[in-house]
Structure 1
Amino acid sequence: MTQSTEQGKGTIWLTQEAYDKLKNELAELQGPVRAEIIERISAARDEGDLKENGGYHAAREEQGRLEGRILQLKDMLERAEVGETPEDDGTVAPGTKVTYKFVGDDDDEAETFLLAAREMEDSVEGLKVYSPQSPLGSAIIGAKVGDTVGYQAPNGRTLEVVILGAEPFTG
């Protein structure tokens, strides 16, 4: 995988478990959940004046959120790379467990996270998940153990981290 593939609308790395969970959520939203909202909209329409019908407006808002989530899930599932563990060569890539510290911190202040889609968070108990599109995630893709990498934090400050470890996530 190249760094440019991972940025923006690139590939999303997921375990099979996370992929299946998202696929099941999509099926649930497209089936029973969508049908229930359509039924509520129809029932509210039958009540008459839609301008003052709070139930109708609430159901329409919920339908909008539902359709947005369905589009998001479809997009993620189309771009998903399922369960292919990256090489164990000490290079940071989606699907790696990364240990890093900020420049100037002691080694005992190091943190470890999984570089993958945020939707993986429920599948990796006790491990933070950072997206490859996050400021830190996008900055360190391609870095090797021992590299120092700078990136711009959301607050505008430039931070530097040292990569202490990068190993494939095995679930």
Structure 2
Amino acid sequence: MDKQQRGGLRLSAQTRERLERELAELRARHRALDEVISSIDGVEDRADQAQRLELADDLARVAEHIRELVDVLAGRIPPSAADSLPAGTEVTVRFSDGTTDTMRVVAILEEAPDSSDTLTRNSPLGRALVGARPGERITYAGPDGEIVAEVVAIRPPTE
């Protein structure tokens, strides 16, 4: 497999291309959000103010994801999250109470359809799944303490 090395970290050519496409899409979304926010500046209507705050939150999330991708592509942070859990990956986990949940990995919550179970790859569960294999137990921080789950399946996205 063709690997490109930067700063001691390796990305396959396919992964690098995918991340560069994702980065270009995020930059376009960032510009679009910025334009919308600029167009409603100065409007004092409460609904417009609420919309502006929501858009500003979206803009901040997109900007953070752009920074993460730039760092991965530059070799400044490990690419494991991007390599192991790309957006669209479907994961099934079994929790200690016996319940099983199947979720789709997304880079940012805005990518998720409203009706589906999703997790972001930077969430505690998303980070715990990096490098995990079916049959392995993972542990991650939950709102009420440590959560243990078994990985049932990890299915990469179909392109």
Q: Is the pair's TM-score, using the shorter chain for normalization, greater than 0.5?
A: yes
Bigger proportion of residues as strand: 2
Identical pairs, percent: 21
Unaligned runs of 5+ in 2: 1-8, 10-17, 73-81
1:137 aligns with 2:126: yes
- Residue type matched to 1:111 in 2? D
Assess if the C-alpha contact under 8 Å between 1:114 and 1:169 holds in 2. Answer: no
- Residue type matched to 2:121 in 1? P
Residues 150 and 79 of structure 1, relative CA distance in 2, 3 Å threshold: closer
Who is 1:119 aligned against?
110
TM-score by length of 1: 0.54
Assess if the C-alpha contact under 8 Å between 1:145 and 1:164 holds in 2. Answer: yes
Superposition map of 1:12-91 within 5 A: 20=25, 25-38=29-42, 40=43, 55=44, 66-67=55-56, 69-80=58-69
CA RMSD of aligned residues (A): 3.9
Residues 63 and 111 of structure 1, relative CA distance in 2, 3 Å threshold: closer
Who is 1:45 aligned against?
none
Distance across 2 between alignment mates of 1:110 and 1:66: 34
Residues 28 and 146 of structure 1, relative CA distance in 2, 3 Å threshold: same
Aligned with 1:37: secondary structure?
coil
Distance across 2 between alignment mates of 1:120 and 1:65: 16
Tell me which of the two structures has the higher relative contact order, counting C-alpha pairs closer than 8 angstroms and 6 or more residues apart: 1
TM-score by length of 2: 0.57
Distance across 1 between alignment mates of 2:116 and 2:49: 37
1:119, CA displacement in angstroms? Answer: 2.7
Distance across 2 between alignment mates of 1:30 and 1:159: 38
Assess if the C-alpha contact under 8 Å between 1:94 and 1:141 holds in 2. Answer: no
Unaligned runs of 5+ in 1: 6-12, 41-54
Assess if the C-alpha contact under 8 Å between 1:112 and 1:127 holds in 2. Answer: no
Who is 1:168 aligned against?
156
Cα deviation 1:71-108 (Å, max 9, x = unaligned):
43233235449xxxx88xxxx63432111111351xxx
Distance across 2 between alignment mates of 1:168 and 1:149: 19
